[in-house]
Chain A
Amino acid sequence: MGSYLFKRLGASLLTALLASFLVFLLVRMVPGDVVAQMMGQAGGDAAEQSLRNFFGLDRPWYIQYFVWLGGVLQGDFGISWTRGLPVGPMVLSAFLVTLELGLLTLTLATLIGVPLGIIAGIYEGRPIDTAIQGFNILGLSAPVFWVGLMILVTVSGVFSWSPPLRFVPPTRSLSDNLSILILPILSLALLQVAAYSQFVRQNVVSAMHQQYVRTAIAKGLPTRIVFFKHILRNVMIPTVTFMGLILIQILGGVVIIESLFALPGLGRLLLSAIETRDYPVVQGALLLVVLVAMVINLIVDIAYQAIDPRVRVS
């Protein structure tokens, strides 16, 4: 287990390095740079040159990469070119907002989606299954921005309530924090609940058709035991993988929801940084996204082994 972990970590770090290089290259290939954006239709060669020099953009791109990488390895992610703040703390605080949003959405979606999926699976073909599947199709096909908008408009129209405008971290006031997050969580959760319950249902159905389950039922084991020992255990393995995937999907895809509800999260930070060609922020944020995806995958793999002895590696 120890050496496995060690190998996995090593591979992850290499991947991160490669990813950072690709990220760097891709961002530089987008036309226009921060200086061009700052100058707009004004300009003047000397002023422009001096800004390029200030940002280090007059050096070859590979030098810029190594300078940046050198800083990152020492924990210095540079300074945001447009905001003038250090990138590390900026990206981290945005990430915490997104992470909170992601984890709460995941929790809510799991709490609702998994039971729904189990119920649908157990009652396969009955009206309740049809109803749940109908909901799932709706949830899976509605675009998240539309759902968000509808929730926002409905809640504000019916209850004359809209979320506060200024983001408050949970450490300052949990209730304020949650009242800002509640609508975005609901919007994001709808899709995930549908995806979850569809996935879990599929697994429950296929488990119920397995020979060993039939055998267990045939030999007269109580339903409760059959369910918990034979079905649930087999459903849990893919579900844990799925949770990881969902979390990565939420973290990567919240940009629309963050913009809609004015949350200072990572997606929005990344979007505005790309728009202004604020390379240090783009690089820092993307690197973080890559690292987080890796960590989640790692956790999933470890959890896997804990649940299923068959995949345990020596």
Chain B
Amino acid sequence: MTILREALWRIGDTSRRAGLSIVSAAALGISVAGYAHAADLYGPVADSPKMGGTLNMGLLLEPPGLDPFHQAADARIRVTVLVYQGLFYEAADGEAVPLLAESYEVSEDGKTYTIKLRSGVKFHTGKEMTAEDVKYSYDYVRNAENGSPGAGDFSVIESIDVVDPLTVRFNLSEPNASLLMALGNKYAGVIPAGYFDDESAKTRMNNESVGTGPYKLVEFNPNSNILLEKNADYWEEGAPYLDEINFAILPNSASMLVALRNERIDLVSLARPQDVQQIEGIEGIEIERFPSLNQKSIDLGLELAPLDDVRVRQAIALAVDKDEIMEAAIGGYGKVIGTIVAGLQDRWGVPLDALPVQGVDIEKAKALLAEAGHADGFSLTLTTINGYDWMDPAAVTLKEQLAKIGVDLDIQKVDLGVWINNFRSRQMGFTFNDWATQPDPNLLYYRHFHKQPAGSDFRNWNNEEASELLDKGRSEADYEARRAIYNDFQMLLAESAPTIMMFSSDHLIVRNQAVKNYVQHPTGWYYGLARAYLDR
């Protein structure tokens, strides 16, 4: 391998500490001006970047559409974060950094956020951005009638006021510490007020660019390419460095690898670790790994006997050798996890060795099963999803592991559509799952683990204590206090085992060595392209 380095996306320690103090200062109702990280938005600033040029990026998954309000697909978000921006940017280490906001102030009861906007921000249409646009955009997305999958993220907002052209106020029904993160740009793009008044706007959004981001959308040719060009009016001085980014949509890795070899593709995020092995050692091509916020897990639906017995779930957890499954599924290109995704472990996670019911212990697992009345074991059906490469080898490995405690695993493969139907009807049974989060513990846990009706609780866990902790965690603004709450939650999650989080797979970035300064954001979104440049 040319260079396979554990690439670390780390903002300097000093600026990290500065960030933390801002969170706590804000909680006390003190206005904070400016921001220590501003220079590092979207990635590290290059020392002496070469300007211009067209970068060809390969896309293995084509976005179904480019509308940031109505498309939940990750393939969409990866690209649209370069075109649309929200009030905040989700820094890789899990902090919400002002983006279109300049500073903010939180009332003492934590229910009012007054946000000062950056001045001189222009939309791609040429129009200047004001508080009216911000109010319009967020009112649009949080109104469930407009059909945005992001509506739920903003349900805590009661109303939005325009204070003056550059100040907006968010009034919340209850304190919510992850509001700022939700105002990051997954569903939180700011667009010109009134944009959706026109019925055809929803469809036009796939071809026109009305955001404030560093790149403008020029053309989207389905099944072929997406072309972005530099936003010359971008509000941040000196950025971005490239003139154009051409996303070439090549749906299979074989042609992607050929194109990389022949320098038609400069950069690509590979989906399968086995593809990396084919280009290792090729001159001029560099391979890098970045930590992710993704997780591969086993969900144990409590509606299915005997999974409703905590001892049975613990027994299964103790029989699972995560290292072995990861090795089979994705080789070494990932990190084994406990109760939180790899990218959040440092800031929010309980150390792996402090968590209960972790590690392989077959004897203890057998004893637990016997205690639960299943000394002779039982059989169980594992659901896996078509099209998820890692699941097949993982399923076979899991079958072998569970056989050791007398659990006979039947493997059933279904289409994603069937799986989502099960998810909706909360009849998941015993299934593999593959999902990712935004870098905040509330956004990670609440939706999945809070009891109904507030959370989707598709595992039918229905755990009072856990739900209370999640309520407390989202309303607490102080980082240390929040961390303590979420640590308690994780202990509970590990002990009760409604899910077994196995591993996070790394982002595998392959680039031509002419591509400089590209850093992959842990979400998998291509923020880093705003900081990348070409030197050839």
Judging by beta carbons under 8 Å apart, are B149 and A262 in contact? no
Q: Which of B99-107, B198-206, B209-217 contacts A (4 or more CB under 8 A)?
A: B198-206
Partner of B224, one of A82, A167, A278: A167
Chain B 137-149 interface mask (CB, 8 Å, partner A; 1/0): 0000000111111
Judging by beta carbons under 8 Å apart, are A36 and B421 in contact? yes
Beta-carbon contacts under 8 Å, A238-287 to B: 258-265, 268-269, 272, 276-278
Judging by beta carbons under 8 Å apart, are B149 and A43 in contact? yes
Q: Which B residues are CB-close (under 8 A) to A39?
A: 72, 149
Judging by beta carbons under 8 Å apart, are A31 and B151 in contact? no
Bound together, the chains give a CA A284 to CA B353 distance in angstroms of: 56
Judging by beta carbons under 8 Å apart, are B417 and A36 in contact? yes
Bound together, the chains give a CA A264 to CA B203 distance in angstroms of: 20
Asked if A276 meets B64 with Cβ closer than 8 Å, knowing A47-B148, A165-B225, the reply is yes
Question: Quick check: is B71 within 8 A (CB to CB) of the other chain?
Answer: yes
Closest-by-CB residue of B relative to A86 is B203
Bound together, the chains give a CA A13 to CA B462 distance in angstroms of: 56
Q: Which of A64-72, A115-123, A148-156, A290-298 contacts B (4 or more CB under 8 A)?
A: A148-156
Q: Which A residues are CB-close (under 8 A) to B207?
A: 84-85
Judging by beta carbons under 8 Å apart, are B149 and A47 in contact? yes
Partner of B420, one of A36, A46, A161, A278: A36
Question: Quick check: is B14 within 8 A (CB to CB) of the other chain?
Answer: no
Q: Which A residues are CB-close (under 8 A) to B225?
A: 165-166
Q: Which B residues are CB-close (under 8 A) to A36?
A: 417, 420-421, 424
Q: Which A residues are CB-close (under 8 A) to B388?
A: none
Partner of A84, one of B67, B151, B252: B67
Judging by beta carbons under 8 Å apart, are B223 and A160 in contact? no
Q: Which B residues are CB-close (under 8 A) to A272?
A: 62, 64, 222-223
Judging by beta carbons under 8 Å apart, are A38 and B204 in contact? no
Bound together, the chains give a CA A217 to CA B134 distance in angstroms of: 90
Closest-by-CB residue of B relative to A276 is B64
Partner of B203, one of A31, A79, A259, A277: A79
Judging by beta carbons under 8 Å apart, are A84 and B202 in contact? yes
Chain B 63-83 interface mask (CB, 8 Å, partner A; 1/0): 011010011110000000000
Question: Quick check: is B3 within 8 A (CB to CB) of the other chain?
Answer: no
Q: Which A residues are CB-close (under 8 A) to B72?
A: 38-40, 42
Q: Which A residues are CB-close (under 8 A) to B418?
A: 31-32
Chain B 421-446 interface mask (CB, 8 Å, partner A; 1/0): 10110000000000100000000000
Judging by beta carbons under 8 Å apart, are B224 and A166 in contact? yes
Bound together, the chains give a CA A32 to CA B386 distance in angstroms of: 14
Judging by beta carbons under 8 Å apart, are B456 and A38 in contact? no
Closest-by-CB residue of A relative to B434 is A41
Question: Quick check: is B254 within 8 A (CB to CB) of the other chain?
Answer: yes
Q: Which B residues are CB-close (under 8 A) to A259?
A: 251-252
Beta-carbon contacts under 8 Å, B48-99 to A: 56, 62, 64-65, 67, 70-73
Q: Which B residues are CB-close (under 8 A) to A30?
A: 415, 417
Bound together, the chains give a CA A55 to CA B62 distance in angstroms of: 22
Closest-by-CB residue of B relative to A79 is B203
Partner of A38, one of B73, B151, B221, B222: B73
Partner of B56, one of A37, A149, A165, A269: A165
How near does chain B come to A222, taking the closest CB pair, in angstroms? 52
Judging by beta carbons under 8 Å apart, are A41 and B203 in contact? no
Question: Quick check: is B250 within 8 A (CB to CB) of the other chain?
Answer: yes
Partner of B70, one of A33, A38, A43: A38
| Residue of B155, B225, B258, B261 with most chain A CB atoms under a 10 A cut-off | B258
Asked if A50 meets B249 with Cβ closer than 8 Å, knowing A32-B418, A42-B447, A152-B255, the reply is no
Closest 4 CB pairs of A and B: A32-B417, A84-B203, A46-B144, A264-B223
Given A44-B149, A44-B155, output 17 extra A-B contacts at Cβ < 8 Å: A31-B415, A32-B421, A41-B435, A42-B72, A43-B149, A43-B152, A46-B144, A47-B147, A50-B145, A84-B202, A152-B255, A156-B261, A165-B246, A167-B224, A262-B224, A262-B251, A269-B222
Binding site for B on A (CB under 8 A): 30-33, 36-44, 46-51, 54, 79, 82-85, 90, 94, 149, 152-153, 156, 160-162, 164-167, 258-265, 268-269, 272, 276-278
Binding site for A on B (CB under 8 A): 56, 62, 64-65, 67, 70-73, 144-152, 155, 202-207, 221-225, 246, 248-252, 254-255, 258-259, 261-262, 264-265, 415-418, 420-421, 423-424, 435, 447-448, 456
A-B contact pairs, 7 of them (CB 8 A): A36-B421, A39-B149, A44-B155, A50-B145, A84-B65, A153-B258, A260-B252
